[in-house]
Amino acid sequence: MNTTYKRSLITMMLFGILFFYIVISFAIIGPDDYLSTRLNRVVNSLVILIVMLGFGYMILVTNKKSNIIDERDILLQKKATSVGLMLTGIIVFLITIFLFIENEDIGYVNVSWMWVIAYGTFSFSYFVTSTAMVVLYNRDE
């Protein structure tokens, strides 16, 4: 198991937790109350901070000159990035079109949706790209 594969596994877990936390907490609380209380904002910020600190720590620990990235790693990263970009673009497009259709009569979208789309897109893109890397590595072996 090389360093790129290990990084992909850890990234998949970290950003998978973040993405599913955002989606599940938003579904439970609802768009009207999601950002209305200071407690929700603080808890969401802490979860994001913990994931980002874990990601930064993982990068620091695995960033050694002895880690060799070969042509196979580069090729798999290109494929995984393409998959991540395509899936993220499709999901964001579908969500925004859904919001447009649902809120066209009202004329505005609740600000909580913007927060969820921003952090959801960020975490989803990392999650999908790293998942694609893990799948491609397993398929390639």
Structural domain spans, the chain: 3-140
pLDDT of residue 22: 93
pLDDT for residue 65 is more than 70: no
For the chain, give the percent of residues with pLDDT over 70.
Answer: 96
- pTM for the model stands at 0.87
pLDDT of residue 133: 92
**pLDDT tier for residue 96 given thresholds of 50, 70 and 90:** very high
Q: What mean pLDDT comes out for the span 97-118? A: 91
pLDDT for residue 67 is more than 90: no
pLDDT for residue 12 is more than 70: yes
Using CA atoms, how far apart are residues 131 and 137, in angstroms rounded to an integer?
10
Residues in CB range of 9: below 8 A, 6 or more apart:
130, 134
Using CA atoms, how far apart are residues 93 and 90, in angstroms rounded to an integer?
5
Angle at 97 between CA 94 and CA 103, to 5 degrees: 135
pLDDT of residue 9: 93
130 contacts 11 by C-beta, under 8 angstroms:
yes
